[in-house]
Amino acid sequence: MRGRILLAAAAILIGGGLGGCARSIFPPGGPIDVIAPRVIAAAPPDSAVRLPVDSPVEITFSETMDRTTVRDGFRIYPPVGRQTFDWSGRRVRVVWDRPLSERTTYIVLLSGTIRDARSVPMRNAVTLHFSTGDSLDRGRISGVLRAKTLRRAGVPILAFPDSLGPRPDTMEVVPTYATETDTGGVYSLGGLPANRGFTVHAFYDRNSNGSIDPETDLIVSYPSPIRLTPERMEADSINIVAVDPKAPAILSGKIVTPDSTARFRIEAVETTDSTLFRRVERVGPGAYAVRVPAGTYRLSATRLPAAEDEKPGPTFRRDEPVEAKPEEEYGPFEFDFSSVPARERAAPPPE
């Protein structure tokens, strides 16, 4: 069974005013709602201890909510079982089909994707901790999700037992703990037990179905497991670098020429598959950038003929291939045409 995972993507509606009037003009039904909903009360409260194992969780929101998004965005870790939602106005009561474990710290996560009845998201996740024991577990793993082309805000961060290996079979198991990054890509997994090891992963739900699908989704892992002990209950700077494997690399450089009207074609051809190539053109001297999929490429530049009766221009090739990786930029690679003689007319065809 595929584990349902919290997602973090929602549109924010922003209303605009009209100038030149004595009063604001709104569409029928009143002003557009842009105020994010909030959690204004929780039972048990955050950091509560010695709770009965049959304790429910009650959450009160600041306004009427989209109940489907609350159901999809509510998680408890470690996972408990099937949950039931009982609504009364802006308050929801959540119970499970089996009791909580004794002497266990639980973390309730409310995703930032949860929306109110007007589809405005909370934007920032809310986390609550409570324990059925005498105290809360003090373990914490924190860090930053770093990315160039992928988003950093609202990304699920998943923790699995390290006994499952560096890359767990996410088709069969659900994460033991999870949280979401904030707008700066910062995350913090708190309330973790000691004498446990975890692997930590960022999850990008490419097909937006709420499940981890290895064939389509992207999971980026911290390279080594994190072990918490009574002597080391906090592990910080567990930073994850997310690279989109489908993002292009950039091969950049410049054309040197005294002819401001000359046209040039810069081409990158993959060394093992010549049908895979990318090319750009420019006029006169200056910079160029060729975006290519990951691979190894040979780069060349050709001066193009200005007219049908002009001889083809020279081609300069870079002998050393470039091994291009996603999101990386390589260069500068310069092609100097300043010593190329003036254009020559092609010989006329025989009569």
pLDDT at 348: 52
**Rounded-to-integer distance, Cα 78 and Cα 282, Å:** 58
| pLDDT of 209 over the 80 cut | no
What average pLDDT score do residues 240-254 get? Answer: 96
At 164, give phi and psi (nearest 5°): -85, -5
In this prediction, residue 17 carries a pLDDT of: 37
| Cβ 321 vs Cβ 239: under 8 Å | no
**C-alpha distances out from residue 222 to 163, 233, 240, 268, 285, Å:** 15, 18, 5, 33, 44
pLDDT for the residue 174: 86
pLDDT at 112 over 60: yes
pLDDT at 204 over 80: yes
Backbone angles phi, psi at 56, to 5 degrees: -85, 175
Residue whose C-alpha is closest to residue 176's, from 97, 236, 168, 184: 168
Whether the pLDDT of residue 232 is over 50: the answer is: yes
pLDDT score for 31: 63
Same fold, 35-136 and 249-336: yes
In angstroms, how far apart are the furthest CA atoms of the chain? 103
DSSP summary character for residue 210: S
3-state helix, strand, coil in the chain (%, to 5): 5, 40, 55
pLDDT at residue number 341 = 75
Written as one string, the DSSP assignment of 260-292 is TT-EEEEEEEESS-TT-EEEEEEESSEEEEEEE
- Residue 275's Cα: distance from chain center in Å? 31
Give 122-132 pLDDT, tens digit per residue. 989 999 999 99
pLDDT score, position 1:
41
Please write the tens of the pLDDT for every residue from 286-326: 999 999 999 999 999 999 988 776 777 899 999 999 999 99
Closest CA to 318 of 336, 330, 333: 333
Structure tokens at 327: 């999101």
Predicted local confidence at residue 22, as pLDDT: 41
Q: What is the CATH number of domain 35-136?
A: 2.60.40.3710
Rounded CA gap, 25 and 187, in Å?
A: 41
* pLDDT > 70: percent of the chain: 87
pLDDT value, residue 28: 56
**Whether residue 185 has pLDDT greater than 80:** yes
Contacts of 143 (CB under 8 A, 6+ apart): 186, 187, 200, 222, 236, 237, 238, 239, 240
User: Residue 145: its pLDDT value, please?
Assistant: 98
Which amino acid, one-letter code, is at 317?
A: R
pLDDT at 350: 57
CA of residue 335 relative to chain centroid, distance:
37
Number of neighbours of residue 346 by Cβ within 10 angstroms: 12
Say if residues 19 and 8 touch (Cβ distance below 8 Å). Answer: no
| Residue 55, helix vs strand vs coil | coil
Domain definitions of the chain by residue range: 35-136, 249-336
pLDDT exceeds cutoff 60 at 27: no
Measure the CA–CA gap between 191 and 104, rounded to whole angstroms: 10
Report pLDDT for 307. 75
29-87 pLDDT, tens per residue?
556 668 999 999 999 999 999 999 999 999 999 999 999 999 999 999 999 989 999 99
* Token digits of residue 81: 């079982």
Distance CA 231, CA 251 (A): 48
> Would you state the pLDDT for residue 12?
28
Domain 249-336 CATH assignment equals 2.60.40: yes
In this model, does residue 266 exceed pLDDT 60?
yes
What are the pLDDT digits (tens) for 3-21? 444 333 333 222 333 334 4
pLDDT digits (tens, 9 = 90+) for 132-180: 999 999 999 999 999 999 999 999 999 999 999 998 887 778 899 999 9
Q: Which two tokens stand for residue 57?
A: 């969780």
